Amino acid sequence: MTQENPPEDLESTLNLDASATGAAPDGQNTQNIEDAEEKDEMTLTQERLEEALREKDQFRSIAQRAQADLINYRKRAADEQQEIRRNANTDLILKFLGVVDDFSRAMAMVPEDAVAPGWMEGLQLVQRNLANVMDSEGVTKIEAEGQPFEPWGHEAVFYQETPDREEGIVTDVIRNGYKLRGRVIRAAQVVVSKAPEPTDKNPDTSSQQETQ
């Protein structure tokens, strides 16, 4: 009869065979699998963290652009409201200037002895009050007479030959011009000097006059 090996000898033989063939024990295989799974989980966690950081940067950039757009919108809205108020004031002031022009022309045409002194003083007081109102609103008259012609603030109604003056000088003001806080709202209508036209002399006529 063949004698059987003890169980412990069989286990030793199996372990020896596994070592010879390069196979790892069951405990080591399990540890390797757990290490690989833990490594994969750490890699996945790192990728998720990086993705979250990228999304945070994107949201921050979006929030910054939205904040900048809001600031620009508020600024544009404020500028538009200011422009609307300025235009409304300009229209009202232009109508007011028409009244000032009419009153000034009427005052200039009143003879000194046509009304009692008290009446004239009252009219002059009204004229000063009108000027004070314009000053308080930032309206200033454009000084034109005697100044070089400027297209931005002068409107040439016609040109006048002036031999004794330089060409392009305002010789008379037909209607005053005004600025509102430095911006021209009505150009001054003016007369501008120009050089006299050269006189053409007929050579034949001159020769006959010299011969005679």
Contact between residue 155 and residue 167 where contact means Cβ atoms under 8 Å apart: no
Is the distance from CB of 169 to CB of 145 less than 8 angstroms? no
CA angle 165, 170, 171 (to 5 degrees): 65
Q: Residue 147 and residue 190: Cα distance in Å, rounded?
A: 11
45 lies in a domain? no
Half-sphere exposure of 175 (CA within 13 A, CB side): 16
Cα separation, 68 vs 57, in Å, equals 16
Alpha-carbon radius of gyration of the chain: 50
15, 105, 108, 113, 130 from 117: Cα distances, Å: 138, 19, 15, 8, 20
Q: Which of 40-49, 109-118, 135-144 has the highest mean pLDDT?
A: 135-144
Number of domains in the chain: 1
pTM over 0.75: no
Q: At what angle do helices 117-136 and 26-109 cross, to 10 degrees?
A: 170
Tokens 């002036």 sit on residue: 162
CB 188 within 8 A of CB 175: yes
Full domain range(s) for residue 180: 139-197
Give the CA angle between residues 38, 41, 42 to the nearest 5°. Answer: 85
Residue 190: the pLDDT is 94
CATH number where 172 lies: 2.30.22.10
The pLDDT, as a whole number, for residue 115 is 67
Residue 82 pLDDT grade (very low, low, confident, very high; cuts 50, 70, 90): confident
Residue 5 maps to a domain: no
125-161 per-position pLDDT tens digit: 998 999 999 898 889 999 999 899 999 999 999 898 8
Amino acid 114: pLDDT: 66
Helix (H) / strand (E) element for 154: namely: strand 154-161
Q: Is residue 149 part of a domain?
A: yes
β-pair type (154-161, 188-194): parallel
What's the token pair of residue 140?
């200033």
Supply the pLDDT for residue 23: 46
